Chains A and B, each alone.
Chain A
Amino acid sequence: MTYIYRADGSIQINRDFDQPLSGEDVLPDLEFDLTELTSPFNDGFHPRLTRFSDYSLTRKTCLHTRIFIPSIVRVVGINSEYTALNIRLALA
């Protein structure tokens, strides 16, 4: 979750980590990629992952974690338990 504070006093809450954050008029053209911060595998399994039965996983995350995903398929989801990891794929 991201809280965006602006000089006009407004606070916007952004729950979507898949969309980049805009630098708005303060940092023009900045498109900040949040996925690098939220990858559950950034430093191994994230404890929070165990709370979700279904966790979205992007191709970028797979690359980051060195899971090879051929280009003819796409990741549609992931099921995780404490010890098991199942990635669901579909034809691209």
Chain B
Amino acid sequence: MDALELRYSRFRLNDEEFYDFCQQNSNLKLERDADGTILIMPNTGGETGDRNSELNFQLRLWNKQHKLGKVFDSSTAFKLPSTAVRSPDASFVSQERWDDLTPDQRKRFPPICPDFVIELIRAAGRSESDTLTGAKEKMQEDWMVNGCRLGWLIDPLTR
């Protein structure tokens, strides 16, 4: 994953401060590691954006028919049990678990791990092996370890 990492060991933003930091820098796509490292994520290129849109379209269409929960796009960040704040390319949270959150929690970065996530390997960036290795680590250590029930890591360029 190509991301610019920001570290400053003398202080660590708490959840509210990090949320405010993101709102005040709304032109940046930000995530946070469990150790407090803030990551500035790159914007996607046209091809990846098109594929992300397709992910959300199919997931949302399914949910409109079944009405089993909420579907989120890649701009939604979740605060995970590990304290990391992450944004999958597409995700789903069951209605029951969503209803357990307070209105304020739903408005900010929901403190919940999605039931289902999709991560898409991006066309541009580092070498293919580095990109795939990083994506596998993210899928395992961020999503599955934190309680995700089903995750898809899709590499549309490789068969």
**Interface size of B by Cβ–Cβ distance < 8 Å?**
32
Q: Please count how many residues in chain A sit with their CB below 8 Å of the partner chain's CB atoms.
A: 28
Interface positions of B from 43 to 83, Cβ below 8 Å from A = 46-47, 50-51, 54-55, 58-59, 62, 66, 68
In the complex, whether B38 has a CB less than 8 A from a CB of chain A is: no
Query: B62, B115, B151, B159: which contacts A15 (Cβ < 8 A)?
Result: B159
Write out, one digit per residue, whether chain A residues 1-34 have a CB within 8 A of any chain B CB (1) or not (0). 1111111010000010100010110111110111
- Given known pairs A27-B68, A32-B58, A36-B54, the reply for A5 and B159 (CB within 8 Å) is no
Q: A7-B148, A37-B55, A48-B157 are in contact. List 18 more A-B contacts (CB 8 A).
A: A1-B155, A1-B159, A3-B153, A5-B140, A5-B150, A5-B152, A5-B153, A6-B149, A17-B156, A26-B115, A27-B68, A27-B116, A27-B150, A28-B68, A32-B58, A32-B152, A37-B54, A42-B51
Q: Are A2 and B154 in contact (CB under 8 A)?
A: yes
In the complex, how many angstroms separate the beta carbon of A3 from the nearest chain B beta carbon?
4
Known A-B contacts A23-B150, A34-B154; the reply to A29 vs B66 at CB < 8 A is yes
**A-B CB contacts (within 8 Å), total count:** 83
Residues of A within 8 A of B (CB): 1-7, 9, 15, 17, 21, 23-24, 26-30, 32-34, 36-38, 42-43, 46, 48
Residue B109 interfacial (CB < 8 Å) = no
CB within 8 Å for A7 and B144 given contacts A36-B54, A48-B157: yes
Give every chain B residue within 8 A of A33 (Cβ-Cβ): 58
A1 touching B158 by the CB < 8 A rule? yes
List B129-157 residues whose CB lies under 8 Å from chain A: 136, 139-140, 143-144, 148-157
**In the assembly, what is the distance between CA of A30 and CA of B150, in Å?**
13
